Amino acid sequence: MARTPHGAAIAAGTGDNMGAALGLSQSEGDVSVSIGTSGVCAMVSPTRPNDASGTVTGFADATGRFLPMTTTINAARILEAGRTLLGVSHEEMAQLALASVPGAHGVTLLPYFDGERTPNRPDARATLTGMSTATTREDIARAYVEGLLCSLADGIAALEERTGTAAAGITLIGGAARSEAVQQLAPAIFGREVTLAPPAEYVALGAARQAAWALAGTEEPPPGSSPAPGPSAARRRPRCSRRTAH
């Protein structure tokens, strides 16, 4: 291993999403869903993605495999927009959403507030449809949360389609993953069990694990810790997930 004149080891680095995947101890087929200002769905894959449409972008991960990703412009800002519209806190927004029903009594949010990247709709704007005189604040809050999650579900589906690999596990990270409504509704909308990663600096943890790997000189990275599964069970996905692509 190369070293500086003062003895510091010189080794390869990696990017932020790749570091997070290593910090989360993701294996092949595992998907991380990061819900920050933007949304990022990333899958560890043994094969290089080839998507001429640009829906799935191809990157290398930090272990010699690949990390295809889909990215949405709108993610946590969707919940912020809903909270602002209803004049409530994030906690109150979550409780309102959970007080409604799956499908929000027909109210649907197409959440492309500032255009969208996945799908490629740069000039799109958000629409809220299906309202009636019976529509409640709870329904509107539910539509915002479902709109966010259905958009991310489309990103996961694109990864599965382009890689030919079904998601082996889904882990939620990012600020908006702390929403109780997001945590409770994600398994239903994603159609499978979801793990909620405890708050941590996963990019930094991945960088530290990579540095330890470089010093160890082993074929595989040193063991890391995986987040414990959250209390969720897969349920049927609401039909709204198919409306977000139009």
To the query of whether residue 16 is one of the catalytic residues in this protein, the response is yes
| Partners of residue 43 on adjacent β-strands | 31
Residue found by looking up tokens 């309202």 in the block: 131
- CA angle 151-154-160, nearest 5°? 150
Which residue out of 16, 51, 114, 139 is catalytically annotated? 16
**Could you count the other beta carbons within 10 Å of the beta carbon of residue 102?**
16
Cα–Cα distance between 69 and 49 in angstroms, integer? 9
Quick one: DSSP state of residue 33? E
Quick one: DSSP state of residue 29? T
| Partners of residue 66 on adjacent β-strands | 45, 60
Cα–Cα distance between 74 and 36 in angstroms, integer? 9
Q: Cα Rg for the chain, rounded, in angstroms?
A: 19
Active-site annotation, residues: 16
